[in-house]
Amino acid sequence: MNSIVCVKRVPDTEARIRIAGDEKSIDTAGVKFVMNPYDEFAVEAGLKHREAAGSGEVTVMSVGQADSAETLRTALAMGADKAVLLTTDERIEGLAVARAIASEVKGREYDILLFGM
C-alpha cells in the first residue's frame, strides 16, 4: 500500500512563544520546532498500512521553507521511505498549501493520503 503523509513543522508545545515586533507573527528566535504531533500519528498510520499490506511505500511531504527538511528527516527516521519538500520562501495561506499538495500528488500512485490535524 502506497501512502502519502503530509507533515508540518510547528513550534514545540513546550516553547515559550513571543509576539514579533510587527504584532502579526511570532518571534522564532530560540524557538525549537518539531513535527506536528498529530502528523506523527499520521506517519505511524501510514507505516502500519504498509506493514499490513506487506508492501508499498510511505512518502512524507511538507510545504515550507528549507528548514522544514528537518521535519522530513524525522519522518524518515520513523520509517518513511521517501520525502518531498515543496519549498517556499514566504509564508503561504492554507489554500495555496492545498493547491501545492494537490499539484504534487497528481500523477503519483498512492492508495491513501494522510494528514494529522
Q: Tens of pLDDT along 79-117?
A: 999 999 999 888 788 999 999 999 999 989 999 999 997
The pLDDT of residue 36 is 96
pLDDT value for 39: 98
DSSP string, 69-90: HHHHHHHHHHT-SEEEEEE-SS
pLDDT at 107: 86
Give every CB contact of residue 10 below 8 A, 6+ residues apart in sequence.
Answer: 33, 34, 35, 36
pTM attached to this predicted model: 0.89
Query: Using CA of residue 57, residue 49, residue 96, residue 117, what is the dihedral sign?
Result: negative
What pLDDT does residue 12 have? 92
Give SS3 for 8: coil
In terms of DSSP bridges, do strands 33-35 and 82-87 run parallel, antiparallel, or are they unpaired?
Answer: unpaired
At 10-35, the pLDDT tens digits run: 999 888 889 998 988 888 888 999 99
Bridge partners for 35 per DSSP: 9
| Residue boundaries of the structural domains of the chain | 3-8+35-115
